[in-house]
Structure 1
Amino acid sequence: MTEEPDAYDCHRDHGPYAGIADFLGRIAADRPRLASRHEVELHAIAPWLDQTARPAAEEEPIRFHPARRTACLAYGAAEFAAAWADTLRQPVKVRFDHVADADETTRELLDVLIRRLAASPVRLDLHDGGPREPVAADPAPEAIRAALGDSLARGFYHHAARVARRGRAMVTPDGDLRHWWAFTTGLATALAALDRAAEALDLYNEARAATDDPKITMSAAYTTAMLYARHLPAEDQDQAQARHWLEQAIHLASGLDNPRQRVLSTVFYEQGVALLDSKAGEPARALRLVDDGLARLTAVLAPGERPQDLARLRHNRAQVHLALGDQAQALADLDTVIAHDPGNCEYYVDRAALHRAAGRSQAAIRDYGTAIRLGPHLPEAYYNRAVLQQERGRSEAARDDLERVLAIDPGHLDARIALVNLQVERGALDAAEAGARAGLALAPEEPALLCTLGLIRSERGSLAEADELLTRALVGDPELVEAWTNRAAVRFERGDAAAAVADLDRAVALSAAPVPRYNRGTALMRLERWDEAARDFTEALAQPGLDRPLRRDLRAALARCRRAMAG
């Protein structure tokens, strides 16, 4: 690359990742070996880099990517760009034009790149103006519909919504019902993915008012049911309404002329009923529906046909087996699912959870790693892998995974809490305090973070501040044993042994762990309540699995109590 800045047009008229996809594609062409380590994210952002890819289907795919996937893509692409930047021998300027008018995917990725490349030799110059590249626009509804299908299939929902609205403005249900419905349901799908399910519901109500076409009303009934079952805010979800609309969809499917399509549609819609049955605490009934659906699908499909449909039903069955407590059968189903649809990260996450529950940590770690590669960079897979790494004593690996989670999703509180606690354990109090305060900036009353920050401040001698933080933690979670124990330690250090005992009474009532009893015994000794202290030390010593230093301290404290009582 030259010293003069390369310029890339980011205007949203060029679609998702406009400009920045060309920038990443140019790096990929220069560094193919490096690009091969980031294929999933690069192919998602710049699909022309994948020579084996097929165009996205015009119709709705079987499953949709979650909207948060773009944050994962941005993380992976930024890691790729940073690795490239590390190979540069001289500074490089890169200019991006029309940033203010860029698609949401482009702005999100630019934000991540700016942070990730801040200390690199690459300087990103962002401009709202600049020359505009011509857009080859085809105003035909077919072209707009294809673009809509592509954006939905790739999970770029803001762009999909814009394309769908453009299409709806071109046609009417009276003049071109087929395209109007494609644009309407595509817009509803995008809005639901963007947590705007109420607007999607309005669109389906509009469709029912506009036409009585049985295929459209059938599809609208099913998607309306799913909005009520899953996508509306929790307070607006309505399982009775969901069942009503599923019944409508199944009734309309029974009237389809094509026998094969009748079976496919009916089985698909009945999976929604199975979902509701499982949610309602009727997993046995759900299992019967899924088994029956699999049998009917197998009867009408040719060998090897629609493997993802069959995989989806088997995945549903695995979830039902889990609800019935049959982990072995759930695992068998997931093994079959992955064999038939090996590119779905969701299945590896679910199987990893089963391996983890069965104590097969290494198998779980492998499945989380596959999910991270396919996802790509799923925060939950990184987080769960970090937990397993920590359980296996691999603190550095756990820390790396937790830092990745927060690089992708800074609002992931569980990862923030786990990372701060790891930093406290290794004595990195500056990093721990900064992390805790960053988390509290997003969730000011998060009890676990308040508790840990209180512990850090007490370690640094700020006892009054620590007491206040721990009290706030207990207001938020009165059953947080660590907060009772830590506040007791603060109050003991401030000279109020009676208050410390009161806090430890609460901790002991909540937990059978030995440390709260040891601490309470210590506070009771300060108050010269020797017999009560001795009971605490004795009961703590009876706990299994005590580490050697704690056992030694307990025995010494108990001996002191006995001497005091004897004297």
Structure 2
Amino acid sequence: MSGEPPPYDCHRDHGPYAGVADLLGRIAADRPRLAARHRVELRAIAPRLDAGRRTAAEEQPIRFHPARRTAALAYGATEFVAAWAGTLRRPVTLRFAHVGAADETTRELLGSLAGRLGAYPVRLELRDDGPARPAVDPTPAALRTALGESLAGGFYHHAARTARHGRTLVTPADDLPHWWAFTTGLATALAALDQATEALDLYHEARASTDDPKITMSAAYATAMLYARHLPAAAQDPARARHWLEQALRLARTVADHRQRVLSTVFYEQGLALLDSRAGEPERALRLIDDGLARLTAVLAPGERPQDLARLRHNRAQLYLALGDPQRALTELDTVIGHDPDNCEYYVDRAALHRAAGRHRAAIRDHGAAIRLGPHLPEAYFNRAVLHQERGRTGRARDDLERVLAIDPGHLDARIALVNLHLGRGALDVAEAGARAGLALTPDEPVLLCTLGLIRSERGGPAEAEELFSRALAGDPELVEAWTNRAAVRFDRGEVAAAVADLDRAVALSAAPVPRYNRGTALVRLGRWDEAARDFTDALDAPDLDRSLRRDLSTALARCRRRTS
């Protein structure tokens, strides 16, 4: 890149990633090899960079991305910019205008850049003023196109604004097709943004505004999915979901065109299969899917609508797993990935089956594919970290866990796993900082409180440690680690009876050998040799016992027997 770029206009009127997409495009043109390594996220943020490679299937996606995907896109784009910044030989200032009026996607990415580029010769200048490109006053047709693109990309805040604007321009009486497109698009965006109650109101409005059979059919299915999946847990209602699915199916069966009738009917029946599976009737759900696949295959040409077929087969794979047949589930997922090889979700599911069967290398490969296609899917990074840790690759595990938290700082499991990795290698300062960072986000999280208590105990702060364990138990009275660790603090302080009381609770909650070994040790201190011997004997019966723990238990049990003989 030669010279400093002019201010990038970030105003939300220009769409998701306005301004920052221009920056990424400029860097990509200057560093094509670097851009190729970040193709998936760049393509999502700035589709024009890869427009020639888009396929018809991608133009009309049948699945919607989760709203949190934008955080992963921001992470990938930031890594791309940081890699470029690392090659700079002189300082560069990047100027962005109208930041205060930017779309949520732009603000998220700018925030990620600001947090990452401090170590590079790059300065971000964020302004609310500056020259602006004129925003064209769009027609309903142009708004509808923009709405579809935002929904397909998972840019739901912009989709919601676009749909709301569209609804101010048309009414059901003067332009029903556009009004419905804006209404259902707004409902879809709101559901993705955890505002499903407002989405439900929109579908009620649609039914009150028209009796058009296609609209009422679609509204019935969407209403069913809100009751089945998207409403707050207390408001979800399987019976209402089934009612609305049956309404959608009744209307689908009246569609004149045979092919479209089959497509709609099979699609809606997948909702019934979901409800049947949740109701504990996987065999009934499987019959619905098998029948749907047979009917779809009969009306589709070879190679047509592969993603539809993949989705049904994915549903069938999940049912095979629920029915206790992981091998058939794996075979089905192989076929699913053959139909739709760019869906990261399928690789994550297959990786879980590989891991359960002990095929760790295959699982790691599938998680790598999910990370590449996601892109930067936090769950795939986390699952791969667990696999690395199980294989003794703690450095790789640590790298993946740090990536998870860079994308999603609130990922509790990754936070705990990373703190424990630091704790395991004796890096107490880093471990404590990580635990406190997690507690700053979730102050009363019991597992983090317990972990911090363990760290404080290791650092010679027993009083603070006991208080942290007690707070953890107040939040989760079934947290075995907190009972066990608080007992250890009390035992070390000479409060042996109190330690035994805590260990009684731990043993009641868990069959693990360590609480029994610890209680046996405390009982020995109290001279209760017979009870201690029972604890040591029970602990020795545990499967897959660690060799050193088995040795210690055997020694302790022999001592008890000598005292009672």
Give the TM interval when normalised to the shorter protein: over 0.9
Q: Residue 427 of structure 2 aligns with which residue?
A: 428
Q: Residue 128 of structure 1 aligns with which residue?
A: 128
User: Residues 549 and 292 from structure 1, CA distance in 2 versus in 1: closer, same or farther, beyond 3 angstroms?
Assistant: closer
Contact 1:56-1:149 at 8 Å conserved across structures = no
Contact 1:406-1:415 at 8 Å conserved across structures = yes
User: Residues 171 and 513 from structure 1, CA distance in 2 versus in 1: closer, same or farther, beyond 3 angstroms?
Assistant: closer
Contact 1:82-1:116 at 8 Å conserved across structures = yes
Aligned residues with identical type, % of pairs? 79
Contact 1:57-1:149 at 8 Å conserved across structures = no
Q: Which runs of 5+ in 2 are unaligned?
A: none
Q: Per-residue CA shift, 1:505-563, capped at 9, x if unaligned?
A: 22233333333233223323333334443444454445454444434444554555566
User: Residues 323 and 555 from structure 1, CA distance in 2 versus in 1: closer, same or farther, beyond 3 angstroms?
Assistant: closer
Q: Per-residue CA shift, 1:309-329, capped at 9, x if unaligned?
A: 111111111122222222122
Does residue 384 in structure 1 map to residue 383 in structure 2?
yes
Q: Residue 524 of structure 1 aligns with which residue?
A: 523
* Deviates further, 401-410 or 46-55: 46-55
Q: Which amino acid aligns with 2:508?
A: A
User: Residues 548 and 177 from structure 1, CA distance in 2 versus in 1: closer, same or farther, beyond 3 angstroms?
Assistant: closer
Q: Residue 215 of structure 2 aligns with which residue?
A: 216
Q: Residue 282 of structure 2 aligns with which residue?
A: 283
Q: Which amino acid aligns with 1:139?
A: P
Contact 1:246-1:272 at 8 Å conserved across structures = yes
Contact 1:57-1:150 at 8 Å conserved across structures = no
Normalised by the length of structure 1, the TM-score is 0.95
Q: Which amino acid aligns with 2:138?
A: P
Q: Residue 62 of structure 2 aligns with which residue?
A: 62
Q: Which amino acid aligns with 1:492?
A: F
Distance 2:294 2:303 in 1: 15
Q: Which runs of 5+ in 1 are unaligned?
A: none
Q: Residue 99 of structure 1 aligns with which residue?
A: 99
- CA positional deviation for 1:12: 0.6
- CA positional deviation for 1:355: 1.4
Distance 2:545 2:336 in 1: 44
Q: Residue 202 of structure 2 aligns with which residue?
A: 203
Q: Residue 14 of structure 2 aligns with which residue?
A: 14
Contact 1:47-1:53 at 8 Å conserved across structures = no
Distance 1:54 1:376 in 2: 17
Distance 2:198 2:547 in 1: 62
Distance 1:63 1:106 in 2: 23
Does residue 26 in structure 1 map to residue 26 in structure 2?
yes
Q: Residue 359 of structure 2 aligns with which residue?
A: 360
Distance 1:558 1:316 in 2: 52
The 5 Å alignment of 1:146-161 reads 146-161=145-160
Q: Per-residue CA shift, 1:298-357, capped at 9, x if unaligned?
A: 111111111111111111111222222221221111111100110111111111111122
- CA positional deviation for 1:382: 0.9
Distance 1:339 1:57 in 2: 15
Q: Which amino acid aligns with 1:497?
A: V
Distance 1:380 1:306 in 2: 28
Distance 2:178 2:242 in 1: 28
Q: Per-residue CA shift, 1:411-445, capped at 9, x if unaligned?
A: 11111111111111111111111111111122222
Contact 1:222-1:269 at 8 Å conserved across structures = yes
Q: Residue 168 of structure 1 aligns with which residue?
A: 167
Distance 1:494 1:486 in 2: 13
User: Residues 107 and 144 from structure 1, CA distance in 2 versus in 1: closer, same or farther, beyond 3 angstroms?
Assistant: same
Q: Which amino acid aligns with 2:175?
A: D
User: Residues 316 and 385 from structure 1, CA distance in 2 versus in 1: closer, same or farther, beyond 3 angstroms?
Assistant: same
Q: Which amino acid aligns with 2:182?
A: F
What is the root-mean-square deviation in Å for CA atoms of aligned residues?
Answer: 2.0
Does residue 77 in structure 1 map to residue 77 in structure 2?
yes
Q: Residue 249 of structure 1 aligns with which residue?
A: 248
- CA positional deviation for 1:362: 1.4
Distance 2:503 2:372 in 1: 46
Normalised by the length of structure 2, the TM-score is 0.96
Q: Which amino acid aligns with 1:388?
A: L
Distance 2:543 2:347 in 1: 36
Q: Residue 471 of structure 2 aligns with which residue?
A: 472
The 5 Å alignment of 1:109-124 reads 109-124=109-124
Distance 2:484 2:432 in 1: 19
* Deviates further, 60-69 or 404-413: 60-69
Distance 1:394 1:80 in 2: 26
Distance 1:93 1:59 in 2: 36
- CA positional deviation for 1:2: 5.4
User: Residues 210 and 51 from structure 1, CA distance in 2 versus in 1: closer, same or farther, beyond 3 angstroms?
Assistant: closer
The 5 Å alignment of 1:474-513 reads 474-513=473-512
Q: Residue 40 of structure 1 aligns with which residue?
A: 40
Q: Residue 230 of structure 1 aligns with which residue?
A: 229
The 5 Å alignment of 1:332-351 reads 332-351=331-350
Q: Residue 86 of structure 2 aligns with which residue?
A: 86
* Deviates further, 171-180 or 502-511: 502-511
- CA positional deviation for 1:39: 0.5
Contact 1:351-1:367 at 8 Å conserved across structures = yes
What is the DSSP-based 3-state SS (H/G/I as helix, E as strand, rest coil) of the residue aligned with 2:406?
A: helix
Q: Residue 326 of structure 2 aligns with which residue?
A: 327
User: Residues 532 and 27 from structure 1, CA distance in 2 versus in 1: closer, same or farther, beyond 3 angstroms?
Assistant: same
Q: Per-residue CA shift, 1:248-302, capped at 9, x if unaligned?
A: 1111111112111111111111111111111111111111111111111111111
Distance 2:520 2:57 in 1: 69
Contact 1:56-1:153 at 8 Å conserved across structures = no
Distance 2:281 2:127 in 1: 57
Q: Residue 448 of structure 1 aligns with which residue?
A: 447
The 5 Å alignment of 1:393-408 reads 393-408=392-407
Q: Per-residue CA shift, 1:437-462, capped at 9, x if unaligned?
A: 11112222222111111111111111
Distance 1:458 1:534 in 2: 28
Q: Which amino acid aligns with 2:261?
A: R
Contact 1:59-1:149 at 8 Å conserved across structures = no
Distance 1:214 1:502 in 2: 67
What is the DSSP-based 3-state SS (H/G/I as helix, E as strand, rest coil) of the residue aligned with 1:118?
A: helix
Q: Which amino acid aligns with 1:126?
A: L
What is the DSSP-based 3-state SS (H/G/I as helix, E as strand, rest coil) of the residue aligned with 2:228?
A: helix
Q: Which amino acid aligns with 2:220?
A: A
Distance 2:62 2:491 in 1: 60
Distance 1:534 1:172 in 2: 80
Contact 1:60-1:152 at 8 Å conserved across structures = no
- CA positional deviation for 1:403: 0.8
* Deviates further, 490-499 or 37-46: 490-499
Q: Residue 314 of structure 2 aligns with which residue?
A: 315
